[in-house]
Structure 1
């Protein structure tokens, strides 16, 4: 197995100088949203008895939000989590060839660090949301939210607790990306530009 094959991953080639822990953290970040997406779709679209459904809601109404909203929320959250892989992959350092006008050019460090840092900071509110839910409250402190009992509560926590790791993992990856890129701010290696 040559070095090129070894550094190849399912989500693109891993950038030079990225340690294994960072790669594992990036993949773990993508998985933090998956259990909650599955729970949300199962409970709100397929009416699996994972929570108490309002008696006045039509079984397929997904609590009046619409099934499309639940699917969109799940897809968008998974896509945003996947962007963490860009902090360890070559496509996070060099624009891919399918982007007109930018193909092969270096991604400015702050173009990745600023949105990732803001995202990590915003995601730090999630543990607060979980505590509020535990007390039967919404983020604003009002009584409400999903109602679960017994085993439903255990399944809910198992599905949503991984989201609490999303912000910290993204924060650590963002700091690592920034430090690694600032240390390698020289000209782009020819092979890296060609590979993009």
Structure 2
């Protein structure tokens, strides 16, 4: 007896092929993004712990209130977590939501759901840190010479955060954009 083969209906979409892996340069750029944010977070955490971190005795204002400490801790953690999200643009969990995530686990990530916030973040970060090279042109009377050098050195790499994120975002979009098939 012959069995009838079932054909997919028009409402059943064919599974999309997996996008190609991220290029090596994009993976390295995403990893670099997480590293360039780390020194500034550690510097802020040192201040929360009471270390002057390059400020003069008169210039250092310790974070004595719980709110001020919480703000600095939250800022440091948030910056690092946002930088870590860049890895999602080069890892499989940025293409398919991990299964352990409630409700949406296992679903494909729509490319624009990742590209739009990443591109907006890249533009915002580029604008925020664009003036950082001017750090060296202004006097900082509240800092020691070594502290001024330290802060300048650890904050200068943040100028790259926006452009690196932008480049990785373009790579992600190119890899994951829907292709137009001829039926």
Q: TM-score range by the shorter chain?
A: 0.7 to 0.9
Aligned counterparts of 1:85 and 1:105: Cα–Cα separation in 2: 18
RMSD between superposed Cα atoms in Å: 2.7
Matched, 1:103 2:98: no
TM-aligned CA deviation for residue 157 of structure 1:
1.1
For residue 43 of structure 2, what is the aligned residue in structure 1?
39
On the 8 A contact 1:124/1:164 being kept in 2, the answer is yes
TM-aligned CA deviation for residue 153 of structure 1:
1.1
Aligned counterparts of 2:131 and 2:64: Cα–Cα separation in 1: 24
**TM-score normalised by L of structure 1:** 0.72
SS at match of 1:47: coil
Residues 71 and 84 from structure 1, CA distance in 2 versus in 1: closer, same or farther, beyond 3 angstroms?
same
Answer with 1 or 2: which has the greater Rg.
2
On the 8 A contact 2:89/2:172 being kept in 1, the answer is yes
For residue 19 of structure 1, what is the aligned residue in structure 2?
23
Q: Which runs of 5+ in 1 are unaligned?
A: 1-14, 138-144, 187-196
| 1:76-155 correspondence to structure 2 within 5 Å | 76-131=78-133, 133-136=135-138, 147-155=142-150
TM-aligned CA deviation for residue 17 of structure 1:
2.2
TM-aligned CA deviation for residue 121 of structure 1:
0.1
Aligned counterparts of 1:36 and 1:109: Cα–Cα separation in 2: 31
Q: Which runs of 5+ in 2 are unaligned?
A: 1-18
What is the number of equivalent residue pairs in this alignment?
163
Residues 45 and 54 from structure 1, CA distance in 2 versus in 1: closer, same or farther, beyond 3 angstroms?
farther
On the 8 A contact 1:43/1:50 being kept in 2, the answer is no
On the 8 A contact 1:26/1:85 being kept in 2, the answer is yes
TM-aligned CA deviation for residue 123 of structure 1:
0.4
On the 8 A contact 2:48/2:73 being kept in 1, the answer is no
Aligned counterparts of 2:129 and 2:84: Cα–Cα separation in 1: 21
On the 8 A contact 1:43/1:51 being kept in 2, the answer is no
